Structure formats: structure tokens, C-alpha cells
Amino acid sequence: MAKTKNLSNGNGVAHGPAKLQQELEENIFLFVPNLIGYFRVVLAIASLYYMPLHPRTCSALYSVSCLLDALDGYAARAFNQSTKFGAVLDMVTDRCTTACLLVFLASAFPRWSIVFQGLISLDLASHYMHMYATLSMGGAGMSHKKVDESRSWILKMYYSNNKVLFTFCALNELFFIALYLLSFSSPLLSPSLLQPSPSSLHPGSPAAPKPSLLFTSPWSAGAMEMARANKMDSTVPWILAAISFPVMAGKQFINVVQLIKASKWLAEGDRLERKRLGLPQRKKSS
């Protein structure tokens, strides 16, 4: 009778095991690595807010968000909290933040906009194709980071070694951050940053109104041009760009390999499926 009393309420309805199961159910969304992922998203959004006018603040926020990409993986292993949701959140955050930065670079360097548009397309297409091929051909429980060496030793080396993966991703982002800083500091890349010849007009005269009267909105295109002419020194960004460029180029090559291998894997599955269905059907000879 005592056992029955513990499992029932005043109405005699058993609820003990159900309540215990509810208490033991884990909240995946509150796992430590996922909380770090949410913080990365907040930092990324904050960096985008400051991106048009405050290069130093934007770069700091963006860099911290990228560096936390390594911390969430470490937390997932340390707390045994690796989840598919966390892996997708991590990948989506990386793809979106990089795409947003490249969109800004396309507007800062209009003549090279097609290059940045191509990099966005390659990044999104290669990762989507790779993820879809892994889920479709490898099974729902297979991670996109588990690559068979027979398919691609390059992708195997890239995904299986966390240090290699982090180095490529970090220096890839570093190159784009360096370009972003150069858009504010290098007249070589941005001729509009060259200072015009000194004017004989005085700021108080009607012919030379205050900048605040010309650019009433701090988020206007004119205000962004004024911010980009804030005399940042371009030495450090040039050094960072030179150091990270080879790795960035290697990362794009890996994206191409990833896209090709995923396409071939999907086509292989299509051939097997068509063979199973007896396709193509041969026409009967009369």
C-alpha cells in the first residue's frame, strides 16, 4: 500500500515515474556549448551593427565571436554535450557571419564585388552540398566531419584534425577582417580615402557647411565615407592580410574539393537508386 501511495496523488492517479522522467529530460538548448553558440550570435550581430562606422569595435567583436568557435567544441567534449543542434548552430553561425562580412567588402570594393559574391556562393554551396550528401548517403546519424579517406584525403585531414580545422577557419576569417580594416585605411585599395587638396573656404562660411549639415544621418553613405577616412594606419592590416592570404586561398580550394566530392557522392547515390528502379528502361524492339 505504501508503494501505491508514493506513486499516486490524492485522486489515486499514479504520477511518480512520469514526473521522474520529466525531471530527467535534458534541455538541449541550455547545454553549455549551445549557450556559447548563442553568445557568438550576439557578438556577431553587434559586430554587424558597428561594421559601417566603427572598424576597431567591429573587428574586436567579430574576432571574439570567431575565436569562441573553438571554445564551444572544447566545451562539448568536456561536458559530453555534443549535439546535432549544436553542430548545425555552429555551421550556420559561421556561414552567416562570413557572408555578412563579404557583403560589406563587396560594397567597400565595388570593382571586386563579383569576387566576394563568388566566395559567398562557394562557401554556402560547398557546405550545403557536403552536409546534404552526408545525411543522404551516410545516414542521419553520420557527422559531416567524418569523411572517409577513400573519398578525399584532403577533406579527411581537414575535418579530422581540430587544430588544422581551426587554423584554416581562423586565418580565413583573419584575411577578410584585414581587408575590412584596409577598406578604412588604405588609399591604395580605396582611392576615395585620399585627402583632397586644402580648401581656402572657412568652416563658418555658407559655402562650406558643417559635415553634420551635409550628413544628418550617421548611417548614411556619406557618413560611412567620412568614417572610412579616419586615418587608420594600414601597416598592421597589410601584414595580417599577407600572412593569412595563403591559408585563405587554401580554404577556398578545400571548398571547391568539398563541392566536387559531395556532387559525385550524390550522383553515385542517384545511379544506384536508378539501377534499383530498373532505369533507364530500354525500348522494346518491334
* DSSP 8-class letter at 29: G
- For 202, the grid coordinates are 572657412
Nearest 5 degrees, angle CA 4-CA 13-CA 2? 15
Outline where DSSP puts E strands in 99-225: none
Q: What is the three-class DSSP state of 151?
A: coil
- For 112, the grid coordinates are 571586386
> Among 91, 229, 101, which residue's Cα sits nearest to residue 174?
101
9: burial class by Cβ within 10 Å (0-12, 13-18, 19+)? exposed
* DSSP 8-class letter at 139: -
* DSSP 8-class letter at 14: B
Question: DSSP assignment of 169-217, as one string?
Answer: HHHHHHHHHHHHHHHHH-TTT-GGGSPPPPPS--TTSTTS--HHHH--S
- For 262, the grid coordinates are 559531395
CA pair distance 112, 99, nearest whole angstrom: 15
Catalytically active residues are: 94
Contact 185, 233 (CB under 8 A): yes
CA pair distance 272, 98, nearest whole angstrom: 36
Q: What's the distance, CA 163 to chain centroid?
A: 18
